[in-house]
Amino acid sequence: AAVTSRVAGRITKLAVHDGQRVKAGDFLFEVESRVVADPPPRLNFTAPMDGVVLETNVLPGGSVEPDKVLLTIIDLSEVDVVA
């Protein structure tokens, strides 16, 4: 599952890393929106499914754009092996 944001902003908290197991609903990261407000709105992102974080494309303080894949989570509960 590709985790993306519809809102531009920056990463203020990052709670996962590549290879980490997550369960559906686990906190992944927080984005501070670029919407002008005091304080700026913050959005929390949670895991959409059980799995393993395959790839993390963000760092704390890094920018978030709507067209960017921020995290990739894969389900390793069923794996086919071809020999």
pLDDT, tens only, 8-65: 999 999 999 999 999 999 999 999 999 989 999 999 999 999 999 999 999 999 999 9
Instruction: Give the sign of the dihedral formed by CA 30, CA 72, CA 18, CA 68.
Output: negative
pLDDT at 34: 93
pLDDT band at 82 (very low <50, low <70, confident <90, very high): confident
Q: What is the pLDDT of residue 80?
A: 75
d(CA 37, CA 67): 23
